[in-house]
Amino acid sequence: MLNPKLNRTGAASLTLAAAAVIALFAGSSQAGVYDDVSAWWHFDYDVSSDGMVTSTDEIRDQRAWGTTSTPGTGGNHASSIQGTPEFTATAYPAGPGGGQPYGNTALTLSPFVDTGEVTTADGFTVNGFSVSGSSTIVTRLMWDGYATTTQNSAWLYNNNFQYGDPNSNAGGGFLFGVTGSTPNLTLLFGNQNTVSSMTMTAGVWYDVAIVLENNGANDTISMYRWEDGGTFQQASYNVNFITDTTFSNNTYIGYEAAGPGTGNAQKAFDGSLDHLAVWDRALDVDEIHHAFGAPQPVFSLGINNNNSNDLRLEGEANKTTYAIGDPWNEAARAISAGSSSSVNFNFDLSAIEAGLDYIFHLENQTPQSGNDFTINASVNGNNVGSYTVNSAGELIWNIDAALLSAGSNTITLTREASSVAAYMAWDWMELSGGWQVGIDNGSNSDFAPESSAPDDFYVTNPDTVNDMERAMTAGDPTINLHFELSDVMAGYYYKYITEVISQNGQHPIEVYVNGQLVTTLPAAGDNTTFEVGIYAYMLNAGDNVITLQWADGTASGWSQFDYHRLELLAIPEPATLGMLSVGLLAMMRRRTS
């Protein structure tokens, strides 16, 4: 069953299908920003449940988590533990940028400082891992202030740092952390060059990122910060001193010098980390937004990297019912015979989210060779279909909004009874599809005045009141809505819906998808709902943007919006042009009749 329209009584409705030459191809950008991450620590594996990090085994690279007895091959796991780091419950349930928590715990680093301010750092070392040249660090952190009164420095990330002569470029690597009497995010390079920007407040959670882009003599350093309760901040600098020079090929988290000692040892980081991710490439600003807000629009579990080792061996998984946001090491990576024949995934939806259709997409990586395997899926106890699987591939279930509830929901995967002791592992999974920004209530009070908000809005951003423009005007005639799609979800059709509720002058509005003009909405009266079909060929795996722009240039007046909504049309990209034109238009007629 398809969702009813959410138009208010008395509001007009216009449906416009996109008219364009069809070319069946997929976007080439990265499908998920974390899919090619070089190291990603979630800090949520407290083996002894004592709140203490007592061994290197408890700090694992989530990309290759492994098994209980052995960390996964190829992971950048901790090589040594420094001091006495602790696992603590995160005070903030999700990221300031809208991202889900990672395990609901944080790694807390509390350097030991004696009465003479001799300091011993907390942290860990990763031997054989470093980045050079272009690279990115993304973390969710809370800084608790400087460890001592002697040093105004708190180095969180030590990437093979060695101090050297700036004239000969003898130094290498970099330090990243907080420095200064007015605390700022700071990068200090081994060649003695420094970039410092963006004030930090102790005791506050932030999403933070630094991006180094090495272009020879025209390098760029970008810093990003999103404070809990604040807005996205960005600063970029053109420099010429990023180098590929490194020395020890090790990474040190939490300190420049381990101590005990004074001087550099007193510059240890004091605070907490919810997660920490590193790439050996420069992410762009859209990818930073998606990294802060991941996943979207509802949930994903695992990394889409053709490897199931970021989740838990099914016989070891702590839970047959897994709640999204719990530690990934408690999520089964496969389903099999016996006690592992069924698994539940619990997730919460808001009332708006529960009114949308979705796709539950599972990347089936490894069915047992030579054995057919039948898997059933249900949503809140309602069967949504089954697959008989004998090879790797995509498993896709349509989830109708009628099956969902505001609040708690459950997807259950069950292996059909069989005499064959077969198993099926998965690489990753997602619940994805539509989204809605704003409340369909005939008011734009949940949006910001256009003069105080940026043109670009990312749909995972929870702060529409400050960051989402309520209108287009002569001086500000553009709105950009950014959203991310996996490679599979970029192969579906969608319908963009918005309502113009108040105007000063009636204005035609151009609708673009990823820079391509899809249609021009005609000038119409207040309280008019517009619906625009979006074809699969227009979409990218990765970042996508819907742009609204006045078609009559710099005309005076305004156009105010009630909400913006993307609905999934539950038909995948067809194989022929004929199926496309018939299938989409018929679906749209049914959904809007």
Average pLDDT over residues 241-267: 87
Strands, sheet with 478-485, edge to edge from the N-terminal-most edge strand: 456-458, 478-485, 542-550, 509-513, 516-521
% of residues, the chain, pLDDT over 90: 66
* Mean pLDDT lowest among 191-195, 198-202, 541-545, 559-563: 191-195
User: Does residue 374 carry a pLDDT above 80?
Assistant: yes
Buried b vs exposed e over 236-273: b needs ≥16 C-beta within 10 Å? eeebebbbebbebebbbbbbbbbbeeeebbbbbbbbbb
Domains of the chain in sequence order: 12-29+435-592 (2.60.120.260), 39-293 (2.60.120.200), 306-433 (2.60.120.260)
- More confident of the two residues 336 and 436: 436
Tokens of 557: 């007046």
pLDDT digits (tens, 9 = 90+) for 164-194: 654 445 567 899 999 999 999 999 988 778 8
User: Does residue 30 carry a pLDDT above 50?
Assistant: no
**Cα dihedral sign, 356-477-226-125:** positive
Residue in 211, 210, 203 with CA at minimum distance from that of residue 227: 203
Residue-level pLDDT at 421: 66
pTM as predicted: 0.89
Question: How does strand 478-485 pair with strand 456-458?
Answer: parallel
User: Does residue 279 carry a pLDDT above 70?
Assistant: yes
Average pLDDT over residues 213-228: 92
Confidence of residue 15 (pLDDT cuts 50, 70, 90): very low
pLDDT digits (tens, 9 = 90+) for 191-214: 778 899 999 999 999 999 999 999
Residue in 517, 518, 511, 525 with CA at minimum distance from that of residue 559: 525
Contact 60, 78 (CB under 8 A): yes
